[in-house]
Amino acid sequence: MGKGDNIAEIIFSSATRAAIVFQDYDIVVISHTIVSRAEGRLVDLRTINPSAEALEIAEKTGKDARHVEVILRESKRILRVERGVIISESRHGIISANAGVDASNAGGVDYVITLPEDPDISAARIRQDLKRLTGKELAVIICDTSGRPFRRGTVNIAIGCSGINPLWDRRGEKDLFGRTLTSKITCVADEIASAAELVIGQADEGTPVALVRGYLFKPGEVPARAIIRPDEENLFK
């Protein structure tokens, strides 16, 4: 996968070779890594001159100062630096380790890969291309792995989507005992992304795309950025 490659055409070609026929309302879950590669988001650390702030953080964390510099450039703000971990808010508003700047599967010790410039736009573009190729109404989710406060282990989350409403608002519905739900909003995009990760993997699986079929989702054009909780709702500041 290289800069300028058409993700949808590669997915369609691979599916055809595997005798997979797309159906209406299939959900295509794509690892951000191949999207970022196609969009030229691979960074050669040999071209990076670390700032004084990057050098200071690198000394605290044991990270490559050039890698830290890329993290700083991809961050709105650094929230915490502790135990070799940099927690930051990315330019997309996602709070995670390293602003999503990843060295794994980047292609060598001198390379890191950043998130797509706008994952929602990327998802919409891939979905339109897939619709042209397949003639089907599909949904696309672009995913990345993320840690969770108070819980060990990482899971996949949706950082971009198109054709699916990422949130299922069930407020006003009744539970089994007739009580009205007042706060139940399910992030179906994250749940689908997390399930797909069992196929996609996080190491050397070499499976950057998963097809989810049979889930009756609510179509829509609400972007994945709607998942991010606004500051006024944040109880953990």
Asked if residue 213 has pLDDT above 80, the reply is yes
End of a domain among 69, 97, 114? Answer: 114
- 32 with 130, same domain: the answer is yes
User: pLDDT tens digit string along 134-172?
Assistant: 999 999 999 999 988 889 999 999 999 999 999 999 999
Domain with 73, as residue range(s), is 42-114
**CATH number for the domain including 18?**
3.30.1330.100
Q: How far is CA 206 from each of CA 38, 106, 171, 211, rounded to the nearest angstrom?
A: 16, 13, 40, 15
CA distance 68 to 168: 37
Using pLDDT thresholds of 50, 70 and 90, give the confidence band for residue 237.
low
Residues 219 and 133 reside in one and the same domain:
yes
Among candidate residues 69, 89, 114, the one where a domain is terminated: 114
The percent of residues in the chain predicted with pLDDT above 90, rounded, is 83
- Domain count for the chain, please give it: 2
Nearest C-alpha neighbor of 76 from the set 40, 47, 100, 46: 100
The domain boundary, picked from 60, 87, 114, lies at 114
Label residue 186 by pLDDT band (50, 70, 90): very high
